[in-house]
Structure 1
């Protein structure tokens, strides 16, 4: 792999911009169109971009793990549904912050699913991250008895989306042991398009020309984001550019402020610092652990020669 940190960082930051932008468009259409209809068009119009990525190394649909792709797509679809529901009802920046709990849930899920034993540093990072969630919740009064049930449920749903997203990541890791990344992406796009097309006759709402344009752009932005993210991770190590994924909060805050008049609160900013800080800590810890493992392996090889 040719390492180009600057290129990878710019591409990943650009990918997060398109994700924030498509979430804003989903927020616009989410109050008028059914969630599954929005997700259908998102997957349908992102498919050409997925095919573009796959064509570079060869379009391979053959698989011996169709069941794994199906389960991964179902879980991914649930995650997308959660995103559309929450961005429609929450400020963009707050929804974005709560989605950053995914690395924290990855640590928790790795215990029962992968039988891993997280290090002390990881546990500290998890505690710091969830302390940030509490700060955000306190800022909205969600832990008070007078908090509205609707807002509480939506915040819990946004938090749960982090857990579902973590489960999706784990499934991708498992499939990646035998499947190419392009094969995983292709099956996801195809299966999600088919699954969301099935209920369309029962939930269909004809969009106006503005909503129709938004749906096309949502799919295009999703595809562009995937292309940029793929190129970013192909440029350098994930642990090196991982922190730049958090630039999505900056884009979400700017778009939310100027597009929807959503001014981030002090509690949201403090909570974001804790959640993002814990995520970056874990990325840096992983990078240090891999470097230590590599050095140990080199020393052992030298001693054995």
Structure 2
């Protein structure tokens, strides 16, 4: 029996989350061995070549971009650069599951900011889900406790930069190809951290570090591919909740690879964030169906 488009889309979303979490695991495994800026340049060079090839094959490698979109792409670049630095710095110094759980609040924060800055409608049900989800984030970082430190703040700052990136992406016109945007973003990250890397001493890579770096780049590439395919298969409103499977991967890999297991409050907070996100996405799906029925 053939799989439906929604089922295939859900499987690809789960594969994308698995790939991105494996990338995070490999990058964290290199913490303390290879400078962060060097890692970002090496990984970025490989991903830039790959995304550039994909953009070329898809006919997206051109500069026929509307003037308004160019500014939005520049904002997206800033968001990606900031997110890369603050997220990976937090990741190198915090348990994988904790950082991943904080990042799972992203759909909630993006929806809230879209309502605040773009005037998008936000009903009481979704607003409640967002507020409850933010309470979950506070349970994860627990400000004022012994476990709260600078890197907890870095994780929250990384969310802010990703929100900037995603809000800029939402405002892009349909005439700008997504793969060209992805290529421009990966190139900007590579160039920026290439310039920043002159401030640190590069270290030679042994076989293990080299393979882990290549593996991290490969996982990012797979994550990008599956992310693009997800947008073309199935209903996004159905597929989107499966992004929270990344948290399961982070729990398993954090325990298996690094021996980290979150404290009970962190697990409760992560569950609240994930549940709130799923409920909000399901509500958005319900509203989209109603809108389609009215249009008919």
TM-score, normalisation: structure 1: 0.88
Paired residues, what number?
A: 290
Matches within 5 A, 1:124-143: 124-138=128-142, 142-143=143-144
Aligned-partner Cα distance in 2 for 1:204–1:215 = 17
Give how far 1:56 is off: 4.5
How far apart, in 2, do the equivalents of 1:165 and 1:183 lie?
Answer: 19
Secondary structure of the residue that 1:259 maps to in structure 2?
helix
Aligned pair 1:50/2:48, yes or no? Answer: no
Larger Rg: 1
Native 8 Å contact 1:256 1:263 kept in 2: yes
Q: Distance in 2 between matches of 1:12 and 1:117?
A: 26
Larger mean CA deviation between 4-13 and 44-53 belongs to 44-53
CA contact (8 A) 2:17 2:223 kept: yes
The corresponding residue for 1:28 is 29
In the other structure, the counterpart of 2:105 is 101
Which structure 1 residue ranges, 5 or more long, are not aligned?
A: 299-305
Cα pair 2:79 2:165 within 8 Å, conserved: yes
Where does residue 75 of structure 2 map in the other structure? 71
Instruction: Return the alpha-carbon distance in structure 1 between the equivalents of residues 116 and 263 of structure 2.
Output: 36
1:205 paired residue number: 202
Residue 84 of structure 1 pairs with residue 88 of structure 2:
yes
SS of the residue 2:171 aligns to: helix
For residues 181 and 296 of structure 1, the distance between their equivalents in structure 2, rounded to whole angstroms, comes to 30
SS of the aligned residue for 1:175 comes to coil
Task: Identify the residue that residue 273 of structure 1 maps to in structure 2.
Answer: 271
TM-score, normalization by structure 2: 0.91
Q: How far apart are the structure 2 equivalents of 1:240 and 1:30?
A: 36
Contact kept? 2:72, 2:169, Cα under 8 Å: no
User: For residue 293 of structure 1, what is the aligned residue in structure 2?
Assistant: 291
- Which runs of structure 2 are paired with 1:1-305 in the superposition (5 Å)? 4-62=5-63, 63-65=65-67, 66-138=70-142, 142-144=143-145, 147=146, 151-209=148-206, 210-298=208-296
Structure 1 distance, partners of 2:8, 2:33, is: 39
